[in-house]
Chains A and B, each alone.
Chain A
Amino acid sequence: MDSARALADARTWAPHVLPQMRRLGVDSVPIALFIATFTGIVLALLSKYIFTGAVPMYFVGALVGKTIMMELGPVLTGLALAGRVGANIAAEVGTMRVTEQVDALETLAYNPNSYLVVPRVLAGVLMFPVVTALAVAIGVTAGWITAINLLDLSTLEFVKGLRLFYRFKDIWFGLLKAASFGAAVTLAGCLMGLATRGGAEGVGRNTTRAVVIGCEAILVLDAFWALVLL
């Protein structure tokens, strides 16, 4: 298939992976950390509210840790990046399409899949887990700080809860999901971009589509991995 051919053409895509990783990944860190911080705070407060009386308070650590690592970290980061990265890619590639830059690439004997799609998708697959890992770390930290300051929990108790049910799977499960979200979001951006027709309006339309498809794909994949791996 064409995508296999594109992947084999490493000479074309290899030089573009690093710049794309920086653009798609590094530049997305602030928004991801922002979201994670507030998620961590809210989760800590919420678990205190849920557990009041019935459950030992150190369960706050367990709930914050598990939910952020396995679900909220990857999914919220993914959704935020679907907006940021998906829109960015679709608008860029779409503009190239309607200004005939994609045609120009082809006449210069480049395969647009090798040149445009492969480096972006690879960058997404590699960088979404990295950004997610940072978000998880910050989210848990925010939960911990909230717990010891506002919930009169000690660090010891929080960590006890955090370690109580922890399994290594919690980590790789979250990061694997993040990688699949990265593939889905960047692929949606590239394909919608390449399918753009008809000027600025078309670019706007397909950019929106790319974001919507990216978000939907994240939710579907999220359920898929839960069904298959849990």
Chain B
Amino acid sequence: MIRFTDVHKAFGPKVVLAGMTLDIPAGQTTVIIGFSGSGKSVALKHIVGLIEPDAGQVEVDGQVVHDLAPDALSLLRAGIGYVFQFAALFDSMTVGDNIRLGLRRHGLDPDEVATRVRESLHLVDLDEAEARYPAELSGGMRKRVGIARAIALRPRYILYDEPTTGLDPVTSAVIDELMVRARRELGVTGVVVTHDMRSAYTVGDRIAMLYQGRIRQVGTIEEIRQTDDPVVRNFIEGRPFDPDRLPAAEARA
């Protein structure tokens, strides 16, 4: 269970999160949607302590992330896979070494490591890529390696930052399928940030919309599909949208 409680975060004068509160229950996949620049990646980074909140707190399994001592934080991070928006692969290492690097922290024997590397690459349909360098891969392939690197750890949580953005429809569907299987077969709790509504409906159990630094609405897929909130409705239907034209009460949520 991940819990955001009244999280505030600003970078200089730019307020990004302004009282974000959200419960992410274990064993489900929660999708976070929101406009570009609304702070979805920033919210995700709070979960693993890459960013500390200015106020409020983020808890993972009851532990307040920014209060953890370095060793405890390492331990927490070892149980969370993070798929970066732009993959963030180590470009001085082969694909295989990228995946192995994380596994080395888990004290596995070499056979087990080799198996996990092969398995996770197979899952993202990149069996041939183990010895290649990130610079030799396409953007979509890099993204899939990023997913493989997270899955290989067999974490309790996986945070996916726009896993299907920029992929062709077929590969996107493969990745969606992968996220669904990770939850169903490995019991992974997923947090998926995306703008891709088709993907959101496929992988999500619940959808939360981040808007102006807070959660505008959170609900099951059906609840979101049938929302009468104009901001959420505009977003999921992909209609041009001008926040100034909303009635004032609605714009504030």
Contact = CB atoms under 8 A, between A and B. Distances in A.
Interface of A: 2, 5, 96, 99-101, 103-111
B37 interface: no
Interface string B90-105: 1100000000011001
Interface of B: 45, 48-50, 70, 74-75, 77-78, 80-82, 84, 86, 88-91, 101-102, 105, 149, 153
A81 B134 CA distance: 29
Contact of B84 (A2, A104, A110, A111): A104
Contacts of A106: 48-50, 77
Contacts of A109: 74-75, 77-78, 102, 105
Given A104-B82, A107-B82, A108-B102, 12 more contacts: A5-B70, A100-B86, A101-B88, A101-B89, A103-B50, A104-B89, A108-B105, A109-B75, A109-B78, A110-B101, A110-B105, A111-B74
Contacts of A96: 90
Identify whether the interface residues of B are mostly helix, strand, loop, or mixed. mixed
B88 A100 contact: yes
Given A5-B70, A107-B48, A108-B101, A101 B78 contact: no
Identify whether the interface residues of A are mostly helix, strand, loop, or mixed. helix
Contacts of B70: 2, 5, 111
A134 B78 CA distance: 45
For B75, B81, B84, B149, the residue with the greatest tally of chain A CB atoms inside 10 Å of its CB is B84
Contacts of B77: 106-109
A202 to B, nearest CB: 15
